[in-house]
Structure 1
Amino acid sequence: MIAEIQVLPRPLGTDTDRYAHVDAAIAVIQESGLEYEVGGLGTVVEGAPDEIWPLLRAVHEATLASGADGCISVIKVSGARDDDGPRVADLVGKFRA
């Protein structure tokens, strides 16, 4: 399964760290041990559905726990019936050098 999550915290960060709340969200993904790729407008994560769904919730909650007053999480999910794909490489591999 692939999921992409974009967190939109209010406010975006703190006076001293503009992206503090987004960084807190990404830290949860990094600690998950799953394959991930941070992009300019969201982070893509690969894993089994039983790993991805709780992680998406944890990312949203970490954004709030970091001090954000509110957060909208935009989530896209792609999965297959047999839990075998797709993978990021299946979708974009031919476009990478």
Structure 2
Amino acid sequence: MPRSLVALALLAAGTAGAQTAPTAPTAPKAQTAPKAQAAPAAQAASTGQHLIAEIQVIPRPAGTAEQRYKHVDAAIAVIQASGLRYEVHAMGTVVEGPPEKVWPLLQAVHQATLESGSERTLSIIKVAGSAQAGGPRVEDLVRKFRQ
């Protein structure tokens, strides 16, 4: 399994904190921080919050002589493996779903371009959400423009 898919699986499982630098064990805040981080995800799941995110990755180089968009294709493969609803467009990919799945996916997509061999990458991300249950859906926003 490619590292980017493993990273996606770890992030989706909520173990991304294992990759961060250790903090001082004597600080009481270190014990309460995980609870504060876990609450929004649990609240999002229980309230039915929904995000739309568009991500455009700009790796350098974009690919190889044999595979012109190799690094972009690696990023899209991570999105495809996520199980979330997505639409690939010419200038980026739109993903929608629960916040606790979308946010880690955005990080994994960025990382996938680097792991595929690009020297560097820039990710441009736009996110739309709502404090209300349900939140925006791609279909709701574009229905009147599609035929």
- Normalised by the shorter chain, which TM-score bucket? over 0.9
Which residue of the partner structure matches residue 59 of structure 1?
A: 109
Provide the TM-score with structure 2 as the length reference. Answer: 0.65
Which residue of the partner structure matches residue 43 of structure 1?
A: 93
Q: CA deviation at 1:33?
A: 0.3
Residues in 2 aligned to 1:86 and 1:38: alpha-carbon distance in whole angstroms: 18
> 2:126 is paired with a residue of what secondary structure?
strand
Structure 1 segments of 4+ aligned residues over 4 angstroms from their partners: none
Percent identical among aligned pairs is: 65
Which residue of the partner structure matches residue 79 of structure 1?
A: 129
Aligned CA RMSD, in angstroms, stands at 0.7
Residues in 2 aligned to 1:85 and 1:23: alpha-carbon distance in whole angstroms: 29
Query: Larger radius of gyration, structure 1 or 2?
Result: 2
Which residue of the partner structure matches residue 69 of structure 1?
A: 119
Residues in 1 aligned to 2:129 and 2:93: alpha-carbon distance in whole angstroms: 16
1:22 aligns with 2:69: no
Residues in 1 aligned to 2:132 and 2:73: alpha-carbon distance in whole angstroms: 33
Of structures 1 and 2, the one scoring higher in RCO (CA 8 A, sep 6+) is 1
Higher strand residue share: 1
1:34 aligns with 2:34: no
Higher helix residue share: 2
Q: CA deviation at 1:83?
A: 4.4
CA contact (8 A) 1:49 1:83 kept: no
CA contact (8 A) 1:6 1:74 kept: yes
Provide the TM-score with structure 1 as the length reference. Answer: 0.98
Q: Number of aligned residue pairs: give it.
A: 97
Structure 1 portions without partners, runs of 5+: none
1:13 aligns with 2:69: no
